């Protein structure tokens, strides 16, 4: 090859390299997003703290790694553990997770308000509901109905509640039959449990009557949806209250004995909230992962493989917005991702709620 040809070959190589990078920029993204991708690849990995079960999250992790060649270090934690670990690491000044992704929406917003998040307007912002975007700093990723599950073999067909009021009436009319047979999250030990029960309190005037009925029938409380579902399918319990519809849907495909009810009076819609840490060691990889979670590609995997229910209305599949609306229509009640969530964690409010809850557990 002549020396005169070398500059041309070098230029061609540069063009091809630039073209390769540009080809990875998702459609509709700004052209300079290629710089974010390049910087993320140089960082080489992204550290994620999440409450999503590793088995479900793994579909997203593997696809992201294949797409960008960036390693995902995923840590599966419960919501309270995640919050405490993040706070401790931030205080130690040694860095935190790059992306924090939790089902405890209120705890996530508290972390944002306390100054731990890095503001970032994702290119996907226009594709998600406005209620799922908090100050371009925290984003809802899923659209998960909060369900009631039951054991099809052991719960009489006439007992299956269609609404919250039905469940209250059932427990009041058959307390002996359901004594020790109902399960739910523990609001004292679970961030998600506290969130769901406080949302019930705001949504329904008779919420405390139901909570008292739980107490009188000696409800069994857990910190894990998996434990609740497992014990319901085994027959140890008969009804699981306030369960993520995503976990229930996944389990129902393996176990035909699990029944799922999306209450017709109101169905809370929970969303796993993600934000970027301002202490991140891999900030560009964090942006890439957040954008991927909200992208149509990521959301399609969320709906059809992870079965976590996609947030976007342009995604097709069983675990989608459209399917939830088909079942409950106007009864959908999304838990708004806003400052009110953090206000609900005010120490005085929390202690007041839990004191009242403890009394309800005694049937008072």
Q: Domains of the chain by range and CATH?
A: 41-143+271-319 (3.40.190.10), 144-269+344-362 (3.40.190.10)
Of 3-17, 215-229, 251-265, 297-311, the poorest mean pLDDT is in 3-17
Give the other-Cβ count within 10 Å of 52's Cβ.
25
- Residue 98 neighbours by CB under 8 Å, 6+ apart: 46, 47, 48, 276, 277, 280, 281, 282, 283, 285, 286, 289
* Per-residue CA distances from 282 to 42, 66, 243 (Å): 9, 18, 34
Structure tokens given for 20: 């390769």
Q: pLDDT of 135-165, one tens digit each?
A: 999 999 999 999 999 999 999 999 999 999 9
Q: pLDDT of 183-226, one tens digit each?
A: 999 999 988 899 999 999 999 999 999 999 999 999 999 998 88
pTM of the model: 0.87
- Residue 230 neighbours by CB under 8 Å, 6+ apart: none
Structure tokens given for 119: 């503001």
Length of the chain: 364
As a whole-number percent, the residues of the chain with pLDDT over 70 amount to: 94
Q: pLDDT of 33-50, one tens digit each?
A: 999 999 999 999 999 999
């Amino acid at each position: 090859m002549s020396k005169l040809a070398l500059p041309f070959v070098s230029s061609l190589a540069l063009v091809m390299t630039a073209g390769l990078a540009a080809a990875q920029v998702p459609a509709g993204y700004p052209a300079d997003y290629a710089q974010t991708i390049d910087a993320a690849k140089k960082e080489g990995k992204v550290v994620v703290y999440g409450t999503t079960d590793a088995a479900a999250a793994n579909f997203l992790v593997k696809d992201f790694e294949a797409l960008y060649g960036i390693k995902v270090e995923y840590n599966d934690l419960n919501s309270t553990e995640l919050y405490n670990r993040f706070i401790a690491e931030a205080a130690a000044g040694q860095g935190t997770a790059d992306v924090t992704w939790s089902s405890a929406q209120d705890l996530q917003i508290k972390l944002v308000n306390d100054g731990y998040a890095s503001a970032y307007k994702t290119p996907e912002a226009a594709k998600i509901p406005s209620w799922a975007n908090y100050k371009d700093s925290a984003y809802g990723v899923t659209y998960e109905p909060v369900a009631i599950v039951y054991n099809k073999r052991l719960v009489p067909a006439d007992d299956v509640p269609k609404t919250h009021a039905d469940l209250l009436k059932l427990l009041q009319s058959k307390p002996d039959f359901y004594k020790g047979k109902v399960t739910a999250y523990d609001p004292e030990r679970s961030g998600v449990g506290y969130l769901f029960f406080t949302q019930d309190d705001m949504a329904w005037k008779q919420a405390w009557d139901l909570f008292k009925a739980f107490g009188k029938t000696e409800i069994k409380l857990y910190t894990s949806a998996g434990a609740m579902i497992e014990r319901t399918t085994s027959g140890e319990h008969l009804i699981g209250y306030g369960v993520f519809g995503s976990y229930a849907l996944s389990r129902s495909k393996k176990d035909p004995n699990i029944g799922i009810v999306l209450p017709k009076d109101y169905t809370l819609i929970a969303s796993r909230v993600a934000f970027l840490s301002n202490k991140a060691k891999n900030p560009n990889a964090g942006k890439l992962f957040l954008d991927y979670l909200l992208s149509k590609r990521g959301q399609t995997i969320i709906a059809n493989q992870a079965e976590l229910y996609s947030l976007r209305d342009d995604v097709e599949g069983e675990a989608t917005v459209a399917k939830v609306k088909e079942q409950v229509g106007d009864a959908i009640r999304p838990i708004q991702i806003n400052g009110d969530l953090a206000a609900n964690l005010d120490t005085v409010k929390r202690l007041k709620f839990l004191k009242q809850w403890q009394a309800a557990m005694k049937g008072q």
